[in-house]
Amino acid sequence: MWGGRPLSCGNRLLGVLGSRCRGARAQAARFTGRAEIQFNWTPQTKPWVFSDYRIMWFKSYRMTFACLSRMKIHRFYFIYLFMRDTWRESETKAEGQPGSSQVWDLIPGSGSHPEPKADAQLLSHPGVPKYPWTRLYSTSQTTVDSNEIKTFLALAHRWWDEQGVYAPLHSMNDLRVPFIRDNLLKTVAHHQPGKPLSGMKILDVGCGGGLLTEPLGRLGASVIGIDPVDENIKTAQHHKSFDPVLDKRIEYRVGSLEEIVQETAETFDAVVASEVVEHVIDLETFIQCCCEVLKPGGSLFITTINKTQLSYALGIVFAEQIAGIVPKGTHTWEKFISPEKLESILESNGLSVQTVTGMLYNPLSGYWNWSENTSLNYAAHAVKSKAQEHPVPAEFVFKGETEELRDKDSTDSTNPGVQEELKK
Amino acid sequence: MAARLAASRWRAPPAAAGPGPLLSCRRWSGARADAVYDVVVSGGGLVGAAMACALGYDIHFHDKKILLLEAGPKKVWEKLPETYSNRVSSISPGSATLLSSFGAWDHICNMRYRAFRRMQVWDACSEALIMFDKDNLDDMGYIVENDVIMRALTKQLEAASDRVTVLYRSKAVGYTWPYPFTMADSSPWVHITLGDGSTLQTKLLVGADGHNSGVRQAAGIQNISWNYDQSAVVATLHLSEATENNVAWQRFLPSGPIALLPLSDTLSSLVWSTSHEHAAELVSMDEEKFVDAINSAFWSDANHTDFIDSAGAMLQYAVAFLKPTKVSARQLPPSVARVDAKSRVLFPLGLGHAAEYVRPRLALIGDAAHRVHPLAGQGVNMGFGDVSSLVHHLSAAAFNGKDLGSMSHLTGYETDRQRHNTALLAATDLLKRLYSTSATPLVLLRTWGLQATNAVSPLKVRCSWFSQKSCSLRIDFANDS
């Protein structure tokens, strides 16, 4: 009687369970939008299914069919079947070749499945980057995947609808902006009230429509946002043009990170790559480029999705195909990266990892929370070392230490003890 | 995602956006030249000025542009007038905390205010009474003239003039609301057209323009309201003899409550809510008769009936038997000698509540959102509570770099305040209706109810806590680093 939203909790639950056709017209529009994407996406992936994944995809299509026909009971049964099969297949896959997931090829229309021999030849060629799926771009190093571009292009004008397809990203700002802000404020002695990040230069890689770029700009930083999709930059540019303060603080450019590395080496206090590393092809190069554009002591902020069973089940199957929280085709599970792997890549490029924390999305409330558990989404903060010379790899330092210790202790009795300790 | 399914309210531009298309042409041509304000507060009354002040002194708003629109002229005050004003407010400790957070309370202390330590509320139809006081006889609240509060707020606004701009004699005549999300070349801000034809753009419009809010009507927000068949008479009274005047008195007559609020040792303020005819009579009758009417309203036992008296006494014995500690005898308020000339004014009463406090880029505070009967002395305190809550949410949003007009934090404010205000509004309305009759069953019910509440301390403490907590929570202002 006095306003508020008395039925909203119930409605949210129903929405999540997939009765999307009920409700506002916007819902219907979104539904057809997803159907369009699905329609565009299916021909590209179907021919490229490996035998060991074919069953999984087939079952997922059956499930989406079940969704469309609104038979909830069947859906849950298919989910059960699906989960059971995934679990079984993953167990068998674990015993199989470790490298099979890496040669997942999503490049459309290129005829046949690559031969293993051809790959080996390509890999041995000095000019080709080491991951086979970049062979179409073998003349230049790039981390951008053209298929990802297509997916995002279809939704380029939907960025700023806070209740639309990108709603989870809007509400993720409640976590990522304080995360970036607080970690950057630790590096300064005092800050201006009202503009805590003023004086900082930040690069937002894969800025999309500028969802994270604008809050950082409002906090006083000068931000450059880059994105390979031209439409995204247009949307972002258009959105910031109405605010005179943001117009001055933010600059948008179309392109990839590799293209600007030369001209912007060591100029940024912080690089933000939020929800980006699960879309790039060559993560090693990407991180290298991030490191190059950072000032010594600068921060790199990454938020991404872990590569686990749970992230497949919830992040792809549930979020994309059942509940529609994320547009279909946004993510591919193979590109997800575990925090351990990310940490090792970061450390090997001279970035010391400060924090890794899990994030959890509650689809019923629409809010994100920090969590101890990193098995779904997580955020990482790494700092570029301030040392001038190239960072020495860890094992050399280790050996140097053992040699020093051996020199110090000439007695035989202590040496094995020391070596055992070092081995631990 | 949660709001997806409650999308209709958040998406639909209101019906009252009729002049939209015409104005949009003007917008497009002149839009780039207008300054874009971060917050515009429409209405410079107690609550609106407090809102502008609180934002101006908030640490996270240091580089934001705030504008206050006031339709009236700027009041120039050289010094405090000797005569007390007849419009006073009861300021709760929570509201006092808000006012002190941006330095206005110091100005009030330097001018004048009166703290009261006790409140006696009793019935005309029975002996039942309830006495509120704090444990150590701390100040329960403060009686401050509205002019004094306004003066303090104006002083603080002048001191913050680099962040807050105040436009006097500017009345907004038209509002244009933004579309749900950016469409080609349509400005995402709220456009306000002033009486002189100039336009402003703002990221958030705060409506604080009173119970006939133009902002609320322009937004098409539904307002549930009705007029009470009562008007309030206010006056400044001189007491017969100087006393330690720190008790607030309120008696529920069948025609409406009469309250005596302390202003100084010899002066008190009267707020008498009664029927329209009686109110008109009171305002026009000569002074002696008026003073007699007041004294008899407080002292006379004409409405007592034996039945009610004995029923009340029975419960009183039972309470004394179970809980022999506390005995509150009914005290009588000080007698009134004369009334200040020309201080008798009347104004009509009503109830109002806006169905929604917020829309995209719009928030309502104060009387624009809710209007209440003065019997509980909560009207302006609820408004200050709104200010406190909204500033808290906006401050957190600004520190997170959020768009100030975004519904995500505005709905947090709405939920916060609707929960509190709805309860208080309903309780006040219920009390008003309950005490408007002299029908025996209801009198019996309220007599016993009042006696029971007086006896059960936790319940009493809860009532007084609820009315005082209006905005004592979550004040984090310039002290934060």
Question: Which residue type, as a one-letter code, is found at position B106?
Answer: D
CA B244 from chain centre, in angstroms, equals 27
Domain-located, residue B15: no
The whole model's pTM is what?
0.76
Question: Which residue type, as a one-letter code, is found at position B153?
Answer: L
Domain-located, residue B6: no
**Tell me, what's the pLDDT at B473?**
37
* 3-class DSSP string for chain A: CCCCCCCHHHHHHHHHCCCCCCCCHHHHHHHHHHHHHHHHHHHHHHHHCCHHHHHHHHHHHHHHHHHHCCCHHHHHHHHHHHHHHHHHHHHHHHHCCCCHHHHCCCCCCCCCCCCHHHHHHHHHCCCCCCCHHHHHHCCCCCCCCHHHHHHHHCCHHHCCCCCCCCHHHHHHHHHHHHHHHHHHHCCCCCCECCECCCCCEEEEECCCCCCCHHHHHHCCCEEEEEECCHHHHHHHHHHHCCCHHHHHHEEEEECCHHHHCCCCCCCEEEEEEECCCCCCCCHHHHHHHHHHHEEEEEEEEEEEECCCHHHHHHHHHHHHHHCCCCCCCCCCHHHCCCHHHHHHHHHHCCEEEEEEEEEEEECCCCEEEEECCCCCEEEEEEEECCCCCCCCCHHHHHHHHHHHHHHHCCCCCHHHHHHHHHHC
| A24 contact residues in B (CB cutoff 8 A) | 4-5, 7-8, 11
Q: What is the mean pLDDT of residues A174-183?
A: 95
B268: burial class by Cβ within 10 Å (0-12, 13-18, 19+)?
A: buried
What's the domain count of chain B? Answer: 1
- Taking only Cα atoms into account, the Rg of chain A, rounded to an integer number of angstroms, comes to 24
Q: Do B355 and A244 touch (CB under 8 A)?
A: no
State the complex-level ipTM. Answer: 0.82
Domain-located, residue B230: yes
- Edge-to-edge strands of the sheet including A294-305? A250-254, A222-227, A201-205, A268-274, A294-305, A377-384, A351-362, A367-371
Which residues touch A383 (CB under 8 Å, ≥6 apart)? A297, A298, A299, A300, A351, A352, A354
Residues of B with CB under 8 A from a CB of A: 1-8, 10-11, 31, 36, 59-64, 180-182, 184, 187-189, 224, 353-357, 398-403, 406-408, 414-415, 418, 422
Domain-located, residue B174: yes
Q: How confident is the model at residue A148 (pLDDT cuts 50, 70, 90)?
A: confident
**Tell me, what's the pLDDT at B1?**
52
**Could you report the average pLDDT of every consecutive run of 10 residues in chain B (481 residues)?**
49 44 40 74 95 95 94 88 92 95 94 92 84 82 94 94 93 88 76 92 95 94 93 94 90 91 93 94 92 91 82 83 69 89 90 94 95 92 96 95 93 95 92 86 85 75 66 38 38
Q: Do B5 and A8 touch (CB under 8 A)?
A: yes
Q: How far apart are CA A383 and CA A366, in angstroms?
A: 31
Give residue for tokens 């679990």. Answer: A87
CB distance A319 to A329 below 8 Å: no
Query: Residue B374 belongs to a domain with what CATH number?
Result: 3.50.50.60
Of B181, B407, B414, the CB nearest to A160: B181
Nearest 5°: CA angle at A41, between A36 and A47?
A: 145
- To the nearest whole Å, the CA of A36 is away from the closest chain B CA by 20
**Tell me, what's the pLDDT at A85?**
66
Pairing of strands B118-123, B129-133: antiparallel
**Tell me, what's the pLDDT at B34?**
62
Q: How far apart are CA B196 and CA B199, in angstroms?
A: 9
Domain-located, residue B2: no
> What are the tokens at B12?
């639909």
Which residues touch B239 (CB under 8 Å, ≥6 apart)? B245, B266, B267, B268, B334, B335, B336, B337
Q: How far apart are CA A208 and CA A303, in angstroms?
A: 14
| Mutation target vs B (from A7, A19, A161, A162; most B CBs, 10 A cutoff) | A162
Question: Which residue type, as a one-letter code, is found at position A331?
Answer: H
Which is more confident, A63 or B96? B96
> What are the tokens at B75?
């009041």
Domain-located, residue B16: no
Domain-located, residue B13: no
Residue-range definition of the domain harbouring residue B240:
35-469
**Tell me, what's the pLDDT at B182?**
61
B303: burial class by Cβ within 10 Å (0-12, 13-18, 19+)?
A: middle
Domain-located, residue B442: yes
Percentage of residues in chain A with pLDDT exceeding 70?
Answer: 58
Q: How confident is the model at residue A218 (pLDDT cuts 50, 70, 90)?
A: very high
